[in-house]
Amino acid sequence: MDIKDVEDRVCVEKTLCGDKKAFEKLVKRYQASIFNIAYRMTGSREDAKDLTQETFLRAYSKLDSFHIARRFSPWLFRIASNLCINWQNRQKLHPVSLESLIEDKKEQSLLADISKEPFSHLEKIHVQKLLQQEILNLPAKYRLVFTLRYLDNHSCREIANILEMPEGTVKTYLFKACLLYTSPSPRDLSTSRM
């Protein structure tokens, strides 16, 4: 276990003893990562916020079932992953369009400095939109593994632990996701023949 795991364990133990501030530390440590996973899985900032909140509520309410000898982060990511999968099962599995990134306050602050390098900022926003659209086009099981690996920087072993699947399956899903990501769509093929 590394220092982060030890700190997590201390926070869990303190939370179980009634210290709510200790759980707040865990929320602060992991909320950005959980939100990122939820956003990449749903394509909606509002749904991602709801799923992030639900993840921490569920973790807090089930903390007494957490095995203290284990690492906290894979347990928390498993909760988030399961909630995202359940969300997807309730939705029509059609890709959803992204909300305009410019409407988001974070992107508005990014655009505030547009006078310095306008094309650089616009290009970054465009690339983020394209990436999100491509991720949303992946099948759900590949999307989750792809997000955990390439956007949240988890190792294949960590992903296998989080999703409770063999490491070989994780690698297969990543390989297939990359094939689908780099394969031209039928629309691309039809326009290239002209």
- Mean pLDDT, range 109-135, rounded to an integer: 63
pLDDT given for residue 118 in this prediction = 54
Q: Which residues of 136-171 are buried (b: 16+ CB within 10 A; e: fewer)?
A: bebebbbbbbbbbbbebebebebbbbbbeeeeeebe
pLDDT tens digit string along 156-187? 998 888 888 899 999 998 888 887 766 555 44
pLDDT given for residue 171 in this prediction = 92
Tokens of 11: 């926070």
pLDDT given for residue 120 in this prediction = 64
Tokens of 3: 């220092």
Question: Would you say 42 and 84 are in contact if contact means Cβ atoms under 8 Å apart?
Answer: yes
Question: How far, in Å, CA of 150 to CA of 147, rounded?
Answer: 6
- Mean pLDDT, range 96-117, rounded to an integer: 47
pLDDT given for residue 189 in this prediction = 39
pLDDT band at 144 (very low <50, low <70, confident <90, very high): confident
pLDDT given for residue 148 in this prediction = 86
Q: Is the pLDDT assigned to residue 98 strictly greater than 70?
A: no
pLDDT given for residue 132 in this prediction = 74
Tokens 């039809």 found at? 190
pLDDT given for residue 100 in this prediction = 43
Share of the chain above pLDDT 70, in %: 74
